Chains A and B, each alone.
Chain A
Amino acid sequence: MALLILLGMPLAGALLLGLLGERRWAPELNVLASAGTFAASGWLTWRVISDGPMLVWNQQFFMDPFNVFLVALTALVGFTTALFSRPYMRIEEHHGRVNRRRLRLYHSMYQLFMFSMLLALTTNNMGILWVAMEGATLATVLLVSLYRTPASIEAAWKYFILCGVGISQALFGTILLYFAASKLLGSEGSSALLWTHLDQIRGQLDPTVLSIAFVFLLVGYGTKVGLAPLHNWLPDAHAEGPTPVSAMLSGLLLNVALYAVVRCKVLVEGSVHSSLAGNLMMGFGLLSVLLAAFLLWRQKDIKRLFAYSSIEHMGIATFAFGMGGPVANFAALLHMTVHSLTKSSIFFTVGHAAQNAGTQTMDKIRGLVTISPTVGWGLMLGTLAILGMPPFGVFASEFLILITAMHEHPWTTPILLLGLGVAFGAIFSRVQAMVFGETNLQRLPHPPVLLPVFAHLALVLMLGLYIPPHLAAWYREAARLIG
């Protein structure tokens, strides 16, 4: 039931907003639908915590601590982003960058995007997972090009083609997975694609086929995670789309894609008795961290800057999942949580700053604290949090990952530290110049939306200082499932 509401809410929202999206109250409806989804996710989480994992609807959907935690996170960020988007998109309309018809498209696609991500997270069928991931691309591609500027169309095209090609590789991987499984489970119905069934027989799956399948799956879903060297679409799509979309792409879509990779990794590890899958993920992760850290120095556009920072953080999480083991998995899950909370709050403040300045070029944004102390400090705090300063949660997760790396793969520690250090220098110097100093901007003409920003930062701070025992137990359970 909770699942029905969880999936039905955004779908109904998408239909309704597609029909009525030109009305004045469309943004409120968008918030309402997101709030409903969030409430349903809370209910579902509570059910899973009290009753344990569940399999419903002909075993086509299933919930365990690992995915229900991502469902809750996705619904939460979707809700707060809707809160932020309501006034933000109104102002964009005021500035004449979008009109009512485009806003209808925007709101409808917003809900469809939420739907496809939640479907990807909750489905038990690896084929449907693929369909939902592709659906998420399709829903967002028109959002990236919402402003119809040449740059945004170019970004959307690149996004579509690169992710489309990438995800085709993932489909080939899924076919191979099905091929390996159907010999054991039979090809009647979709039993051989159900993750829970695959998980039970993973020891018997053919290692050769699964290794080849994993390479395809990792390349395919990895493109969507934004792993280097397949990350090309990510900075463009983040920089050219509307800010709420950047926040959702960075905070949610990348997580969902990484979730898909991890699900596949569990199967492959069980079949191939070597650390091939883990090593591949570690390699891609390290490369992303390093490449992103050095490219950060060359950025001039503020949203591109934080997009590269997302690549870096996804690299860290992928690396941690690659190492495996209870501590690294725990840290990676924590890192996914704090990254998406922090990064979306940063994008909210960046959105206000860029909207007010009328540009995303960092050199032209100066002295944010003078025009609005809360936006300025919000950005500063968010930046400190994402850079891994204690006492924020990112520090805790990065610390755990570094400790594990030192233990198990000592040679990777200097590489990680180098990446983190370089990224720190690049981001901190830029943001400091933007937040403090003389300003050339007008005072903010409208009150900024602060609730989502500070709610996210407060959560991140809490996770850094104290993880409630329930949540810790839940993370541990999820980490154990991933193995």
Chain B
Amino acid sequence: MAPLPLQIINLCAALMLLLSFAMLSQRRVLTLVDLFALQGLVLSISIGVVAWNTGQPHLYYSAGLTFVLKVVALPLILHRLIRRLDARWESETLLNIPTTLMAGLLLVMFSFALAQPISELATTLTRGTLGIALAVVMLAFLMMITRRKAVTQVVGFLAMENGLFFAATSATYGMPMVVELGVALDVLVGTVILGIFFFHIREQFDSLDLSHMESLKED
């Protein structure tokens, strides 16, 4: 029987993966943002548990930072944007969900295979979850490839960042504080810039559908 903190972390990892799949199959934009916020919550809980278990103070900050950024700030910004852009009922129409999910399964297998040799070297309590972290990154990547809406691509981008933070926690108990702060700043600024972009895109193309953007192709 594994110790309790480990069980909680494994549970969190499983939830992260599950939420990734849920995001992959979710058509509606608004629900997608909520799922993203939920994933951020699970992430910050798991970082918190690791912090509690290892007693590393900087992980507490990291957990707090994740909570503020991923559960409060970013979903709030995205919700406001969606409301302002009146994109609440937007959904993807051209999406073959079963095929995407199958591709997602293959990606998970690939990630586990890739993470296997690394996990074996790790001494951290949480090493088993590295494969899941990589899978979350890969699934977010897949989501960005298959989607054609601007907002969904951004959520995919942010979900990828979630996976990366999870990887940092599970492999090494988090990156140094200065780096984590820098990364968080980049993510925040990036989201704000993307928000500005939504308006430009709407102004120019009358829609947030990226399939209108096809003029720059090699012919």
| Contact between B218 and A153, CB atoms less than 8 A apart | no
| Contact between A164 and B215, CB atoms less than 8 A apart | no
Q: Does B213 contact A (CB under 8 A)?
A: yes
| Contact between B193 and A165, CB atoms less than 8 A apart | no
Q: Does A179 contact B (CB under 8 A)?
A: yes
Look across to chain B and name the residue whose beta carbon is closest to the beta carbon of A208: B117
- Find chain A residues with CB under 8 A from B215 CB: 150-151, 154
- Find chain A residues with CB under 8 A from B81 CB: none
| Contact between B193 and A161, CB atoms less than 8 A apart | no
Q: Does A440 contact B (CB under 8 A)?
A: no
Q: Does B73 contact A (CB under 8 A)?
A: no
- The number of chain A residues touching the other chain, given as a range, is 35 or more
- Find chain A residues with CB under 8 A from B171 CB: 175-176, 179
A170 to chain B, nearest CB (A): 10
Q: Does A361 contact B (CB under 8 A)?
A: no
Q: For B171, B175, B200, B213, which residue has the most chain A Cβ atoms within 10 angstroms?
A: B175
In whole angstroms, how far apart are the Cα atoms of A178 and B197 in the complex? 34
In whole angstroms, how far apart are the Cα atoms of A86 and B167 in the complex? 46
In whole angstroms, how far apart are the Cα atoms of A408 and B123 in the complex? 41
A28 to chain B, nearest CB (A): 28
| B157 contact from A149, A164, A208, A295, Cβ within 8 A | A164
In whole angstroms, how far apart are the Cα atoms of A174 and B190 in the complex? 20
Q: Does B141 contact A (CB under 8 A)?
A: yes
Near B by CB (< 8 A), chain A positions 154-184 give 154-158, 160-161, 164-165, 168, 171-172, 174-176, 178-179, 182-183
Q: Does B77 contact A (CB under 8 A)?
A: no
Bitwise interface map of B from 190 to 213 toward A, beta carbon under 8 Å scored 1, else 0: 100110110011011100001001
Q: Does A135 contact B (CB under 8 A)?
A: yes
Q: Does B172 contact A (CB under 8 A)?
A: yes
| Contact between A190 and B176, CB atoms less than 8 A apart | yes
Q: Does A223 contact B (CB under 8 A)?
A: no
Near B by CB (< 8 A), chain A positions 125-163 give 125, 127-128, 130-131, 134-135, 138, 141-142, 145, 148-151, 153-158, 160-161
11 residue pairs of the A-B complex, CB under 8 angstroms, read: A127-B175, A138-B189, A138-B190, A148-B200, A154-B216, A156-B197, A157-B150, A175-B171, A175-B172, A178-B168, A178-B175
> Contact residues of B with A, CB < 8 Å?
114, 117-118, 121-123, 134, 137, 141, 144, 150, 153, 157, 160-161, 164, 167-168, 171-173, 175-176, 178-179, 182-183, 185-186, 189-190, 193-194, 196-197, 200-201, 203-205, 210, 213, 215-216, 218-219
